[in-house]
Copies of this chain bind each other. A is one copy, B any other.
C-alpha cells in the first residue's frame, strides 16, 4: 500500500469518527491503522482501526468501515495456552453486516467481494445498528462489512494479537507493508 493511500484512508476514517462524536487526539489520528490485508483493494477489502489500549488482560479499539468495505474472514486461535481472542462488537454509527459460523442466512445483505468468493465460507448473519452489539466467541470464523453509510464499531476484547489471526484467504497479509511515495 502506498503511503499516500494510507494517509487518505486515515483522514477519511478520522472524519467519520469526528462526525460520530468520537474524539481522537492528534497523535491518535496520526496512527490510525489502515489494513489492506495485502490484497491491493482497500476500498473493497480493508479496515481502519484505532487501538486505545491493549494490555495482557484486555483490549479496546474503534473500527471504521467505509461503505461496503469488508474485513476478510478470519478467526482468532489459542495463543500460548490461552483461549483465542473473544471480542464484542458494538455498533456506534452506520450499520454493520456481521457473519459468523452457524446456520447460514438464505440470502445475505452484504455483497461478498467479487473475485474472493471462495474465501468467504460462513454466512450466519447478524446486522448491527447503533447501540446494538454482539460477542464473537474465541476460535469462531467471522467477517463483516460496512453498510451503505459505512460503520463505526467499538471492539471490546481480550488481549489482541493480530499477528496470529488465521485468514481463510491464503493471500491475506495481516500486518501492513507500506511503500513510501513522498506523501
Contact = CB atoms under 8 A, between A and B. Distances in A.
A1 interface: no
Interface residues on A, range: 20 to 34
Interface in A60-112: 60, 86, 88, 90, 92
A122 to B, nearest CB: 22
Contacts of A130: 23
Interface string A131-142: 111010000000
How many copies of the polypeptide does the oligomer hold?
2
A25 interface: yes
Contact of A58 (B22, B57, B92, B132): B57
A158 to B, nearest CB: 4
Contacts of A24: 131
B25 A60 contact: no
9 contacts: A20-B21, A21-B22, A23-B130, A24-B131, A55-B88, A57-B57, A58-B58, A58-B156, A60-B60
